[in-house]
Amino acid sequence: MVCEFRQLLRRTEPSSRHAQIVRRPLATLAVTCCAALVATIGYAVRPAAPQSGQAGGPPNYNPYPPGILPSDLDAEIARVQAEMRTVFGRYLAQAQALPPLTFSNTQGVGNPPTIAGSGYEALRILGGLLNYDQSMSPLRNVACASCHMPYAGFSGPIPSVNLTMVAYPGTFHFRAGKRTAQRYTYAPQFPQLRFNETDQAFIGGEFWDARATGYRLQSADAEQAQHPPVDTQEMGFPDTACIAWRISQAQYKSLFEQVWGPDFDINWPADTEQTCATPGGNFPTATPIALNRNDRAKANDIYDRWAQSISALEHTDDVSPFSSKFDAFLAGKASLTPDEMAGYKLFALRSVDLRCRPAALAA
């Protein structure tokens, strides 16, 4: 399929192209610098919990044979965390520079309004904030982007990890997953999981095993975003409601409310932060936050909106710019090498799902 072939060719492109994706120019350099400072100050207001291996924190989890954990792992994690704070600051500056959102109700009173003018831009920025916000983990040290940085093709950004343990450490150091992080460039183009009668095989879905089927949200990409926050080896929240709780405390809460509506009227228990600051796997239930039925429904809705916001970001040029060599080839501005052309023909011949490639190529 063309969208998969595009990803394959992107792996050979200079990494600077990926770094440029998130360097969206702002109005002035001063705005960028101030915003980054504001973001840093915002993080300093609520200090991170003591990390594993640090004074006051639990000891590092290290059941691995010698040579599995890279010697530079702590330093590399700190580097990536600093980079994520910088990118988060850029998105925060863009959020602050947004003009007031205009709500239009063209269908008459009683129908839900739509955001006119800058609605797509607001959703893109919100997705960026959620994607790079390290407070979306119990110890406030891991974000979605921890395993998906732009300069690494939106995959793992630590070379020594890629060469050794492969799977990335989650919020509790150094508990790690079982697989390397997939790139999420062009991921919104992937269809819902379904059975192809012609090939007698399943296609679509996301993750290596396609477990994010896309049926409930009608988007495999959005449903993929709902797995890492409560995976004990990744972001590690003990309850999906922790996403709603942390967003309710975030600097960009008002933007979330403007885009999706005021859903944060939830009667949170007094121990909510304590629960959300505890990595998953320490409770006898997957819903340790005691919410009544109505409040649980609100938190679940916010969790769905979280996922749709992340997917909306991945739809944009920030993540999926369609700027690969293959895109240039389709536009008649580049030529494929013999090996690349052979690979393209192999993909084209084997593909029977034409939804992610132009009709002109189907022939």
Alpha helices in the chain (DSSP H): 2-10, 15-21, 29-45, 73-97, 119-132, 159-163, 220-224, 241-248, 253-260, 272-276, 293-315, 325-330, 338-350, 359-362
**Cβ contacts of 78 within 8 Å, gap of 6 or more:** none
Residue among 289, 294, 305 at smallest CA distance from 253: 305
pTM: 0.79
Rg of the chain on CA atoms, in Å: 21
CATH code where residue 204 lies: 1.10.760.10
Q: How far apart are CA 271 and CA 342, in angstroms?
A: 59
Decide: 193 and 209 in contact? Cβ < 8 Å.
no
**Core vs surface per residue 221-235: b (16+ CB within 10 A) or e:** bbbbbbebbbebbbb
Total number of domains constituting the chain: 1
Q: Residue 129: which domain range?
A: 2-362
What number of H helices and E strands is found in the chain? Answer: 14, 4
How far is Cα 200 from Cα 356, in angstroms, rounded to an integer? 20
Could you report how far apart the first and last alpha carbons of the chain are, in Å?
Answer: 13
pLDDT tens over the chain, length 363 residues: 444 444 444 433 333 333 333 333 333 333 333 333 333 333 333 445 556 555 555 678 888 888 889 999 999 999 999 999 999 999 999 999 999 888 887 777 777 778 878 889 999 999 999 999 999 999 999 999 999 999 999 999 999 999 998 999 999 988 888 888 888 888 888 899 999 898 888 988 888 888 888 888 989 999 999 999 999 999 999 999 999 999 999 999 999 999 998 789 999 999 999 999 999 989 999 999 999 999 999 999 999 999 999 999 999 999 999 998 999 999 999 999 999 999 988 887 765 444 444 443 433
List the one residue out of 150, 143, 154, 211 whose CA is nearest residue 180.
154
